[in-house]
Amino acid sequence: MILADCGEPVTGSDPADTVRVIRSELRLQALDFWLRNPDYLADELVTKVEVGEIDASYLSVARHLLDDPEPDLRWYPMPRWHFGAYEAIDDAFSLLEAYGLAALGRIGDVSNTVCSQFFLTEAGMRAAADLAGQPRLSWYTEQVKLVHLVAGNDLGSHLKQRQYRQAEYAGTELGVHIGPIVERVRERLDGLDSGAHSQGGSAILMGPPRTGDDK
């Protein structure tokens, strides 16, 4: 689902039968972190509302991510290593490759991989569309749309920098799972609600959501 919604279109030099690609494992890991941690995703939505990049209606989406039982069931923390949230994805991606849903490309050689690229095949895109129509799995479809909204087209290094601004994220010891920030995000939302009430319900005014390139 991440490759389908957050990947970029392939070019003529990419492998045949592929349609989307994420050209950096750093970006893929950052996107995966927000998918697996709804509270951090909610905090990003709040920040984007505050700076006027998306509509204030997303505040209710952020609160839903904190209060609805479904995101809590999907919470799946990641450990922090030297470059931030990281979990080996070789086994999971190998499974996608085995079924012809994805393909891994590497720039460099076996002893010195400069960059890994993660491709979604045509079969993988069809599978993603099928998952979107299944009630038990469509949650991921909607969640990935929010991940794409907050990430935009930023490079993986930029996404990691944004995540490191969270004290809980940055302060986690190496190898330890990054802890939740639910209560702090809820306090931010409550503060915005209080400000809106004190100003007659118009504390935040802005235009429609922007989902384009935010590099």
Q: How many domains does the chain have?
A: 1
Assess if residue 176 is contained within a domain: yes
Domain range for 135: 2-191
* Lookup: tokens for 83: 């470059």
**Strands ordered across the beta sheet of 112-121:** 8-9, 18-22, 112-121, 102-109
Q: Kindly tell me if the per-residue pLDDT of 200 is higher than 70.
A: no
Assess if residue 205 is contained within a domain: no
Q: What is the pLDDT of residues 41-97, one digit of tens each?
A: 999 999 999 999 999 999 999 999 998 876 556 666 777 776 677 778 888 899 999
pLDDT of residue 113: 54
DSSP class of residue 7?
P
